[in-house]
Amino acid sequence: MLTLSPFYQELLAALNQGLLMSLALIIPSALGGVLIGISAGALRVFGDRWVRLLGDGYAALFRGTPLVVQLFVLYFGLPNVGVYLSPYAAAVTGFMLCSGAYQSEYVRGALLSIKRGQYFGAQALGFTPWQTVRCIIVPQAVRRAIHGCGNEIVYLIKYSSLAYVVTCMELTGEGKTIATEYFRFTEVFAIIGLYYLALVSLAIFFLKKIEQRLYIPGFGHQ
Amino acid sequence: MITDTTPILRVDNISKCFGETCILKGVSLSLRKGEIKVLIGPSGGGKSTLLQCINCLVRPDAGEIHLGEERIDLASKADLCRLRQQVGMIFQDFNLFDHLSAQDNITIALRKVKKLGKREAAERARLELEQVGLGDKAELYPAQLSGGQKQRVAIARALAMDPKALLLDEPTSALDPELIGEVIAVIRALAAKGMTMIMATHQISLISTLADEILFMENGVIVEQGSPAQLLTSGNPSKSQGFCDRLNDLADGGC
């Protein structure tokens, strides 16, 4: 039976623990990001002038500034105004808001791509505006947005590694500690890379399943 | 009381401007039960806008719409929904819901707007699809149907709502010549059943044979109206006859 050297035993134990933290960061951030993205995207398309302006401002702010800066402000900046976030809470909040801003752009694009005729068709049958959006526009937009939204989740998985800058010890943070301790950067970061590759592959697998599930003739290929 | 002489739909003095350009300049018409009016005239004359104004897909700037005896309040969403449920609309480019099968295109309106149950809606949808000869295509999506089939589904969808009148906006204009026939056959069958219709069309066979009255629109006003017998006799100096002659020339010279 293969026994691992103490270095690898310690490394894998640390990385597995980090992996759990990474998952705890990624899953709520991805779900929250999608939810914020759909809401903000819809408001940016269907809202009145002020709501649209607010949504556009949100997206401009979070797409326009580096994520690291956002995390620093949330973790190191907010205590100045009396708001104290734990490293985990700061990281998840930052990821959700950042991911939501990007998602809102995919959702907005998908909603805007639905032709005027679809609204006309529904209205002419007596649908209310809300029914039109909910039953006709959103189901079509979801199918157009899904590829972009999936892509954003793949990004999120990788930028979750930034959580360690606010001392939330996830995969990258745990690995870096070991790497510094043993001064063996190549092996450690190569293995961390493999962990992320596995996470992303898993995400792609599930996203593909969802795409297949939602497939309808006329919306992409099977 | 509604008798055969009371109009079931009446529009008075409808006008609509987009910025500086006025598309409709005070158009009035009324429609009795079973009557078929055909709108003809040059492109840009306001035919489509008139039809869209009649069921308020485009809100008129001024004018009144009466459904039977009732005046529709153009600012009331409930009134608009009621008007649209009773006045069906067929579009040039079909406007089927792309994410729903032929059958679900029909059931969704029955369920969401008419609040029918699932089974009841499905039965009605099947029936309407069979009426337009598409009983075997119920499960297909719009992307899997030909243009003529899509338009027939659209007609079935409108009819399932039991409209009092149907507005048809160039129903055959987006179709290949060999697909026009099937849609015309469906429209003729509707006419034979006594459906009340206003139709904008360039289809010469529909104009002369179906119309009770021809309305010739130009520059946002109805400049000529009358029965085909009055307007469409060869050598008649009417604008309508001139228009139909040009359509005939195009059809003859086209091949």
The CATH code of the domain that includes A80 is 1.10.3720.10
Verify whether the Cβ–Cβ distance B98 to A126 is below 8 Å.
no
Mean pLDDT score of chain B, rounded to an integer?
Answer: 90
Ordered DSSP codes for chain A: -----HHHHHHHHHHHHHHHHHHHHHHHHHHHHHHHHHHHHHHHHHS-HHHHHHHHHHHHHHHHS-HHHHHHIIIIIGGGGT----HHHHHHHHHHHHHHHHHHHHHHHHHHTS-HHHHHHHHHTT--HHHIIIIIIHHHHHHHHHHHHHHHHHHHHHHGGGGGGGT---HHHHHHHHHHHHT-HHHHHHHHHHHHHHHHHHHHHHHHHHHHHH-BTTBS--
Angle at A106 between CA A101 and CA A108, to 5 degrees: 90
- Over range B143-155, report the average pLDDT: 94
With a cut of 90, say whether residue B139 has pLDDT above it: yes
* Contact: A131, B112; criterion CB under 8 Å: yes
Q: Is residue A69 part of a domain?
A: yes
Determine whether the interchain pair A117/B91 forms a contact, defined as Cβ–Cβ distance below 8 Å: yes
Q: Which residue of B has its CA nearest to A124?
A: B84
Q: Please tell me which of the candidates A117, A125, A129 has its beta carbon nearest to residue B161.
A: A125
pLDDT digits (tens, 9 = 90+) for A159-175: 999 999 999 999 999 99
Query: Residues B175-197: pLDDT tens digits?
Result: 888 888 889 999 999 999 999 99
User: pLDDT > 70: what percent of chain B?
Assistant: 97
Q: Tell me which H or E stretch contains B229.
A: helix B228-231
Q: Is residue A175 part of a domain?
A: yes
Residues of chain A positioned with their CB less than 8 A from the CB of B145: none
Whether residue A65 lies inside any domain: the answer is yes
- Using the predicted structure, report yes or no on whether residue B254 has a pLDDT greater than 60: no
| Contacting residues of B for A117, CB less than 8 Å apart | 91, 93-95
* Single pTM value for the model: 0.85
Chains A & B: contacts with CB separation below 8 Å: 77
Q: In this structure, what are the phi and psi dihedrals at residue B128, rounded to the nearest 5 degrees?
A: -65, -40
Which pLDDT band holds residue B255 (cuts at 50, 70, 90)? very low
Q: Are B200 and B215 contacting, i.e. CB atoms less than 8 angstroms apart?
A: no
Q: B98 vs A218: CB contact, 8 Å cut-off?
A: yes
Task: Tell if the CB–CB gap between A217 and B144 is shorter than 8 Å.
Answer: yes
Is A139 among the domain residues?
yes
Q: What is the mean pLDDT of residues B153-170?
A: 94
Residues of B with CB under 8 A from a CB of A: 52, 55, 57, 77, 81-82, 84-85, 88-89, 91, 93-99, 108-109, 112-113, 140-144, 154, 157-158, 161
Q: Between A42 and B236, whose confidence is greater?
A: A42
Answer whether B89 sits within 8 Å of A139, measured CB to CB. Answer: no
Q: How many domains does chain A have?
A: 1
Give the closest residue to B171 by CA, choosing from B148, B194, B189. B148
The burial class, CB within 10 Å (0-12 / 13-18 / 19+), for A192 is buried
Q: What is the pLDDT of residue B4?
A: 61
- What's the pLDDT band for A222 if we cut at 50, 70, 90? low
Q: Identify the bridge partners of residue B40 per DSSP, sorted by sequence position.
A: B216
Cite the beta strand spans of B42-149 per DSSP E: 62-67, 70-71, 87-90
Q: Residue A152: inside a domain, yes or no?
A: yes
- Residue of A118, A125, A127 best to disrupt the B interface, most CBs of B under 10 A: A125
Nearest-neighbour CA in chain B from A211: distance (Å)? 14
Containing structural domain, residue A81: 14-214
Please check whether residue A9 lies inside any domain of the structure: no
| Cβ contacts of B57 on chain A, cutoff 8 Å | 120, 123-124
Looking at residue B142, the DSSP 8-state letter turns out to be G
Segment holding B28, helix H or strand E? strand B21-31
> Considering only CB atoms, which chain A residues are within 8 Å of B97?
118, 121-122, 136, 140
Report whether A85 contacts A96 (CB < 8 A). Answer: no
Superfamily of domain B9-96+164-254: P-loop containing nucleotide triphosphate hydrolases (3.40.50.300)
Please check whether residue A98 lies inside any domain of the structure: yes
Contacts of B89 in chain A (CB under 8 A): 120, 124
Name the DSSP class of B240. H
Q: Measure the CA–CA gap between B2 and A216, rounded to whole angstroms.
A: 46
ipTM of this complex = 0.89
Residue B231 has pLDDT above 90, yes or no: no
**Nearest Cα to Cα of residue A164 among A10, A18, A11, A16:** A18
CA distance, residue A108 to nearest chain B CA (Å): 18
- Nearest-CA neighbor of B142 among A118, A64, A191? A118
pLDDT tens track for B59-93: 999 999 999 888 999 888 888 988 999 999 999 99
